[in-house]
């Protein structure tokens, strides 16, 4: 199956919009099972102020908020490149601080450097 995904990506590279996700979706069409939502908690869950506004049952919503298995930073806002407040950021930095990169944060200096690089690349 992995080779089929790679082959699809190679053969359709110019038309692919969603990169690996698109190749996976095509190759695994009809060959997958749905996981419990906690295996893919995304920032979208926090747009709901309560379970009753969400598409989930109360139990599923509460488990997504309180005990996600995987926190998927599925937007342009990431804890490592943004000052945007997202509850998953605290968890990200908790585990980051258990690694060799302990203490690393997105500082003012890093934000300025990133903007300068973007400007430089824009002018090319």
DSSP string, 33-60: -PPPGGGGB-GGGGG-SSGGGSSS-HHH
Which residues are within 8 A (CB) of 105 and not within 5 positions of it... i.e. 6 or more apart?
A: 93
Residue 120 DSSP label: H
Whole-angstrom distance, CA of residue 73 vs CA of residue 43: 7
- Residue ranges making up the domain that contains 59: 35-75
6 and 27 inside one domain: yes
The CB density around residue 64, as the number of other CB atoms within 10 Å, is 22
pLDDT of residue 36: 94
Task: Give first-to-last CA distance, the chain, whole Å.
Answer: 40
82 and 120 inside one domain: yes
The domain total for the chain is 3
Whole-angstrom distance, CA of residue 73 vs CA of residue 40: 9
67 and 40 inside one domain: yes
What confidence tens digit (pLDDT) does each residue in 76-120 have? 778 887 767 666 788 888 999 999 999 988 888 877 888 888 887
1 and 14 inside one domain: yes
- 123: pLDDT strictly greater than 70: no
84 and 120 inside one domain: yes
What confidence tens digit (pLDDT) does each residue in 18-61 have? 878 889 999 999 999 999 999 999 888 888 999 999 999 999 99
């Amino acid at each position: 199956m992995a080779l089929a995904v790679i082959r699809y990506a190679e053969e359709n590279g110019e038309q692919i919009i969603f990169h690996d996700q698109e190749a996976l979706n095509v190759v695994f069409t009809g060959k997958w099972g749905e996981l419990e939502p906690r295996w893919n908690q995304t920032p979208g869950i926090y747009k709901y102020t309560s379970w009753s506004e969400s598409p989930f049952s109360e139990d599923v919503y509460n488990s997504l908020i309180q005990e996600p298995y995987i926190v998927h930073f599925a937007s342009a806002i990431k804890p490592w490149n943004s000052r945007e407040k997202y509850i998953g950021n605290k968890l990200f930095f908790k585990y980051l601080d258990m690694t060799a990169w302990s203490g690393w944060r997105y500082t003012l200096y890093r934000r300025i450097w990133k903007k300068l690089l973007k400007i430089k690349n824009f002018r090319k």
